[in-house]
A and B are shown apart, each in its own frame.
Chain A
Amino acid sequence: MTETIDARSSKKVPDGKLIRVDLTYDDRIESVTITGDFFLEPPEAREELERAIEGHPNDVERDELLVAIQDVDASLIGFTAGDLADVTREALT
């Protein structure tokens, strides 16, 4: 049985906004909350981004996360899917 860990990581995107990821994981990512001073259209897509990150293994590859995030139909303003993937992976380490 893997230990459940709460983790948080954040990034101030250069010339962009702050994104922060809080997550709970064991061998997989259980729950994700994305906060910060970014913009997102439509705003409801925040929860879809969170769902897109959940369920991946705790050693998920960047590309796999990136594809899942990019699959969400939303405009990310002040950060990129790559930024979100990086912050997520940082929280997992």
Chain B
Amino acid sequence: MTWTIIDEGRYSEPIQQALEPVLLDRVDAGEIGPTLRFWYRERPAALLGRFQDYSDEVATGYVEERNLDVVRRITGGGAMFVEPGAVITYSMYLPRSEVPSDVEESYAELDRWTIDTLRDLGIDVSHEPLNDIAHPDGKIGGAAQLRRENAVLHHTTMSYDLDIQEMLRVLRIGQEKVSDKAISSAEKRVARIGEYVDISRDDVIDAMVDTARNRFDVTERSLTDDELAAARRLADQKFSTSVWNEEL
């Protein structure tokens, strides 16, 4: 499988989220091949899953006070708090033919190269169904997928050195959700890559790119002007509007 890697560009959260359907649709239409994109953010933000209720998940008063971006993803799954430089987010846009048809199997398969990279760095991580990357201390990251007719989006966010206290101020972490995990403190639920390695976040991303190079046929490119223009339009029309972000 030949992957094209896009590993550059710092964008606002609405543009980042808008790039997801833009690139997924281009793979779906056969205009571009398998693509891996790393994200670089401008500001802290809260991300909502496609089906989550805004006020159930976000501490609305604090978010307004801090003027944080809250952006709904096109994928399901849970709310996340992200900060520039403190998380690693990447997206894979793949033809369906390259992805196992079984959903559970596809999460495990598409997380594998990342988990192998982290293990090579000495971190005790494993895939935890359905969509978690887990360390014995807690969850390091999570993935979410969306399927189109001919393409699959698989995007993952992992904590490098996320500010957990701030996360707990921004998100309402439901007790309900942790009730079956026998964990008393929400803090214990997040484990951070930076606690287990002495290398920088950029070095971790470089290690991931190296894994991809060794495993797949890899080329690199930038986003095209056309892709960016489409994402900026979609950010304006959808991903920066309260209709999309706050309503269902």
Contacts and interface: CB of A to CB of B under 8 A. Distances in A.
A37 B103 contact: no
Contacts of B177: 12, 18, 37
Given A35-B56, A37-B78, A10 B176 contact: yes
Most chain B CB within 10 A, of A33, A39, A43, A77, is at: A39
A46 B72 CA distance: 16
B76 A37 contact: yes
Given A34-B51, A46-B51, A39 B77 contact: yes
Interface string A22-53: 00000000000111111111110010000000
Contacts, number: 63
B151 to A, nearest CB: 13
A43 B148 CA distance: 10
B53 A20 contact: yes
A40 B248 CA distance: 14
B180 A78 contact: no
A75 interface: yes
B84 interface: no
B159 interface: no
Contacts of A35: 51-53, 56, 248
A82 to B, nearest CB: 17
Interface string B49-79: 1111100100000000000000000111111
Interface in A36-93: 36-43, 46, 75, 77-78
B100 interface: no
Contacts of B180: 12, 14-15
Contacts of A37: 49, 51-52, 76-79, 177
Contact of B103 (A17, A18, A36, A77): A77
Contacts of A18: 174, 176-177
A67 B174 CA distance: 30
Interface stretch (B22-30, B34-42, B139-147): B139-147
B248 A39 contact: no
23 contacts: A12-B180, A14-B180, A17-B76, A17-B130, A18-B176, A18-B177, A35-B51, A35-B52, A35-B53, A35-B56, A37-B49, A37-B52, A37-B79, A37-B177, A38-B51, A38-B76, A39-B76, A39-B77, A41-B147, A42-B147, A43-B74, A46-B248, A75-B103
Interface of B: 49-53, 56, 74-79, 103, 129-130, 144-147, 174, 176-177, 179-180, 248
Closest A-B pairs by Cβ, 7 of them: A39-B76, A37-B78, A35-B53, A37-B49, A18-B177, A14-B180, A41-B147
